[in-house]
A and B are shown apart, each in its own frame.
Chain A
Amino acid sequence: MTDLHLWLIPLVPVAGFLVNGLFGRKFPKALVTTVAIIAAAVPMLQVADIALRFSSLAKPYIESHGTWIAAGALHANFAFQLDQLSMVMLCVVTGVGFLIHVYSIGYMAHEEGYWRFFAYMNLFLFFMLVLVLSANFLLMFVGWEGVGLASYLLIGFYYTRDSAANAGKKAFLYNRVGDVGFLLAMFLLIAHFGTLNFADVFAAIGANPSLHGGILTVIGLLLLLGACGKSAQIPLYVWLPDAMEGPTPVSALIHAATMVTAGVYMIARAHIIYDRSATALLAVAAIGTATAFFAATMGMMQTDIKRVLAYSTVSQLGYMFLGCGVAAYSAGIFHLVTHAFFKALLFLAAGSVIHALGGEQDMRVMGGLRRKIPVTFWTMTAAVFAISGFPPLCGFVSKDEILYQAFVSPTPAGKVLWAIGLFTAGLTSFYMFRLWYMTFFGESRAVAHEEEAAIHARHDTKLAIEAEHTHPVHESPKSMLVPMIILAILCVIAGAMGWPEGLGGNNWISHFLAPAVSGAHLQYEQARVAIATGAVHAAGENQSPAPAKNLEIILAVLSTLVALSGWYVAHLMYYKRRDLPARLTARFRAVYALIFNKYWVDEIYGALVIAPVLFIARWVLAALVDRGVIDGGGLLAGYTAQGFGSLAARIQSGNIRAYAGWLAACAALLLVAVYFGWTTHFGIH
């Protein structure tokens, strides 16, 4: 391939960030918009250009811009890499990113700090593109941390509410836990392979066929910990629902379509490591399935429209992990793509609903909006049907591919994972139609809502103030509707990319991705085919032997039925017999309390991790190390008198003596330890 100038792709958004970040405050709004939109559009056009010229690559195209660091064991280049996997990611990030930038023009029009918002959005785009383009783990980590930072800025620094600031902090800290895993994995890679370049690490693993499990399992599990942080999987998922404090376009771009999928991308990228470790792979699948299920149950109980979508995102990310965990990386990535479409659309449509209602996010006071905001209604309907898994929409195709791959995977747990995944699909359908009915059907509560808007003013001060001026419920401006319509069209047609062969398609995307995400695990692939046909043999023993095709059809019909039943239950509970939910909650109070309180996970973490740390910080240290000194205020602040007399009193208070005593005691302990040679017996080295 000719010179692609990949470096330009991330450079343009960062230029947009610098221009708006440095001078945006003084720019008129139109100029801020122009800069930001151009900074988002240029990379999209460049990616489109590359995509059109992209025929096939046997080997990844690597563009190196010189040595970044060379320090003994560590050597890393400023290098970007283009292969099928990064190509797909680039299309999603720039395409959806651009649409959401456009949407934001309308959504953020009345917000203060308009320039800051767009500067941060461009910054996010920059880091996300670095993440997907990097040719080594280190540069990937730079993007990885960078998107976290941009997300922190967009959640926490945008609004000045304390809850938003706390949510930003929470997101950041849970990601730090994951980062420990990512960093340790990188250190182990350096120690064992002497490099962080994808190509070199994977070549080294490929060249050593006897390398299985062991260190690769450890690295795989550590990377998985990193992925769990970024992609909000058990046990680190709790930050994502809180992150909904950020503006809705941020939720759509960062917390649905792009950043949170970075973990899935990373696992697919490192698939050669996972292919060699059944344990790590199974862990990915198990965590994904568990997360998909638990998040779906929590999504059923939420009343805030964005939080429903947040839990749904966590749950869908679980499906992607499940796909990767049964070594069907292309299925995982395909679901990532379709999810980017339908989930971004769901958020944008939800944003449009919130916009129409002047900042209301509580679904209990919505209803009957179907006729009032028809474009929003119809686009959201497309997304609801897509995520719930109705053929032929994109969500059906990709989710079904994952479930099929789980079913036929050689892992013994495959069938269990499939069954849980299938059940979760029913839950998904249920909570999505619950949202659909509560928002758009039933009697209009728009009038009632205006009174309640004041009560719910906590959501969005600015918009709530607008609501008090009794705006009539209104459809959103074109800049918001057009991106939604485009995404709705994608929801309907994108399934064609991966229409399974068993149903008469050609599963183009899996063939396209094959060079990047398979090959090294051919044996696994063969085992899968054998099982697929074998399973059908077993299932159809009494009938005539059927090809693998039939299995795929059977599974597809099954999951469609499951989706239908989810819809039916939601229809029953939230349309036909509205008294049912209340009666059911009364009946199953314990279960309801358990799920409604989100299994008390936040509280458990608080009690198990945060409280002990604070306890140690507050009491143990205070007593042992810091005694006599009371925190910044306390003793010192109370002591404001001046002059020598009080100084003497201060010294008399024993402070210095205590310090000197402490020093002497510690030194004595050290000397005794050294004298008796204790220090050499700790076996640290």
Chain B
Amino acid sequence: MIPMVNPALRVLPEIILTLFGILVMLADAVMAKASSRKPLGWLAVLGALAALAASLWQNRLPAGDAFYGVVRTDAFSVFFHVLIAGIVLASLLIALDAVSDTTEGLGELFALILFGAVGMMFMTSAVELLLVFIALEISSISTYIMAGFRRKSAKGPESALKYFLLGSFATAFFLYGIALVFGATGTTRIPEIASAIAAGHTPAIIYIGLAMLIVGLGFKVSAAPFHVWTPDVYEGAPSPVVALMSTAPKAAAFAVLLRIVYGAFPLLHDHWTPILWWLAVLSMTIGNLGALRQRNVKRLLAYSSIAHAGYLLVAFAALSADGIAAASFYAVAYAIMNVGIFAVISHAGGYEDRLTLIDDYRGLAWRSPLLGGVMAFFLISLIGIPFTGGFFGKFYVFVAALHSGLIWLAIIGLVNSGIAAWYYLRVATAIYSRPSESSPVHSLPRPSLALLLALVITVSGTLILGIFPGGVLSSARAAAATYTSVSPVPSSSGTSAADTTAQH
């Protein structure tokens, strides 16, 4: 018997973040108009730390559902909760460093980051598609707003509007997918969908429904060909926001995708693995080739994030516990190094993007060996050189793929990661070139405590993942192992969904 757990404890990190979010908003309202809003940022940091601690603590809860089987806490949800809390923590620190006391709407920004995190966390623990949808909307709407936070710049509102319109379009696909799946199986609970399919409820519309869910999530993780919004939005959004939105919502969306394909549709893997195979190939190729011709660093990193979504999808297609673990591990490795590089970018470029083109970064390492070195370090990790998280992430992914016989996918991925070195090195070379007299890197602000903290977290995280990946890897494997329990064992239909997953 599973002991009774107070349902509130199963959503403790979400509750904490919500409370802190409200606290930040209230404090923002009562504070004197002219006073600095930075203390609110530290309050939010505190909230993120508390949520992180609560997420870690949830590891001690026995796995189980709450609120009528809508939310589930298990090794998988805890894994992604910790990741999201960590990203939010680092992003808040980055934001604290980049903004000035007079930046408009700071209190709202910090509150929105926390509220968005609530949505992302619910995405990873929800086992009911309607809650997934609501969580996805909470996360998306707060990111839409944050993307347009620089109201005075032309690109800010444009970026937000574009993100909002296209995002809503994609969400519609997701919602319609839920409706079709409900029509086919009579349920929107993920485990029950799996058992309905196992019981033989597979009308044609279920495939359409599944494909629509993949379209919606493909947009959120910016997998090609649903990636078109990414470069424009990253370019227009403030860098600290990009640090967050290029990692946390994506990690959450990947978690949802894992839950859906492995939790609800393991028996239909014949149908979804080829789709993910193609998404992986397209994302890697379009992402890397697209990045080759970029001159703007944030656009370049946008394409790079598309490519990384592709590497991650390679692990999905592997259709094995190793694949799930590799995907989860890669989500962590990618998030840490990407947040790290955006920490440097948002400090060097500032909230208002003083540096935009690769050429603007010329001489960064001359001006500040610390920032330049750290940026080069993250570029090295993005390339995938050993001793960094980026290397082991890719390594696991390709091992999992080859183990499942996906030889072509692994080769395409390796060739792609070779091409990727080219554009990352372009940035690295610029950083270490001698700056011109008029170069914008001469006016770098002093690194703040918040930035140093963010850099310590991300650099040490990337190094630990590269040198001692054991801890995170075993958590990822524990998360992957939950998929034998998520799938129910129907008594009538012979093979259980769990067995099917295990066989591959």
Question: Which residues of chain A have a CB within 8 Å of any CB of chain B?
Answer: 25, 67-74, 141-142, 145-146, 149, 156-157, 160, 162, 165, 168-169, 172-173, 176-177, 179-180, 183-184, 187-188, 190-191, 613-614, 616-618, 621-622, 625-626, 629, 631-633, 636, 639-643, 646-647, 650-651, 655-656, 659-660, 662-664, 666-667, 670-671, 674-675, 677, 679-680, 682, 684-685
Contact = CB atoms under 8 A, between A and B. Distances in A.
Q: B interface, how many residues as a size bin?
A: 35 or more
A625 B225 contact: yes
A165 B376 CA distance: 14
Contacts of A622: 293
Contacts of A666: 215, 225-226
Interface string B429-446: 100111000000000000
Interface string B345-380: 000000000001100000000000100000000001
Given A67-B470, A675-B208, 19 more contacts: A72-B321, A72-B477, A74-B396, A142-B386, A160-B434, A625-B224, A633-B357, A636-B235, A646-B154, A647-B154, A651-B158, A656-B162, A659-B228, A662-B225, A663-B166, A674-B275, A675-B204, A677-B207, A685-B404
A614 B398 contact: no
Interface in B381-406: 385-387, 391-392, 395-396, 398-399, 402-406
A422 to B, nearest CB: 37
Interface of B: 152-155, 157-158, 161-162, 165-166, 169-170, 173, 204, 207-208, 210-212, 214-215, 219, 224-226, 228-229, 231-232, 235, 270-275, 277, 286, 289-290, 292-296, 299, 317, 319, 321-322, 325, 356-357, 369, 380, 385-387, 391-392, 395-396, 398-399, 402-406, 408-411, 414-415, 417-419, 421-422, 425-426, 429, 432-434, 468-470, 473, 477
Contacts of B319: 685
A41 to B, nearest CB: 25
23 contacts: A68-B470, A160-B432, A162-B433, A168-B429, A177-B418, A180-B411, A183-B414, A190-B399, A617-B292, A621-B290, A622-B293, A625-B224, A632-B357, A636-B232, A642-B152, A643-B154, A656-B165, A659-B166, A660-B166, A660-B169, A667-B212, A680-B270, A684-B277
Contacts of B415: 180
A622 B294 CA distance: 12
Nearest to A610: B422
A69 B474 CA distance: 9
Contact of A69 (B158, B224, B470): B470
Contacts of B214: 670
A165 B431 CA distance: 11
Nearest to A152: B425
Contacts of B426: 169
A662 B228 CA distance: 8
Contact of A685 (B215, B270, B422, B468): B270
A632 B299 contact: yes
B375 to A, nearest CB: 13
Nearest to A157: B432
Given A71-B396, A639-B154, A629 B231 contact: yes
A663 B226 contact: yes
A149 B380 contact: yes
Nearest to B422: A173
A188 B403 CA distance: 9
Q: State the main secondary structure of chain A at its contact with B.
A: helix
B399 A146 contact: no
Contact of A172 (B292, B403, B421, B469): B421
Q: Lowest 4 CB-CB distances: which A-B pairs, in order?
A: A632-B296, A142-B386, A679-B274, A617-B289
A73 B385 contact: no
Contact of A647 (B157, B208, B398): B157
Contact of B410 (A25, A146, A187): A187
A625 B228 contact: yes
A188 B477 CA distance: 22
Contacts of B211: 670-671, 674
Contacts of A626: 228, 231, 290
B295 A631 contact: yes
Nearest to A680: B270
A680 B277 CA distance: 11
A622 B235 CA distance: 18
A176 B161 contact: no
Contacts of A632: 235, 294-296, 299, 356-357
A142 B387 contact: yes
Given A173-B418, A177-B418, A625-B228, A165 B429 contact: yes
A477 to B, nearest CB: 29
A256 B207 CA distance: 60
A440 B317 CA distance: 64
A71 B208 contact: no
A647 B274 CA distance: 40
Contacts of A633: 295-296, 357
B403 A631 contact: no
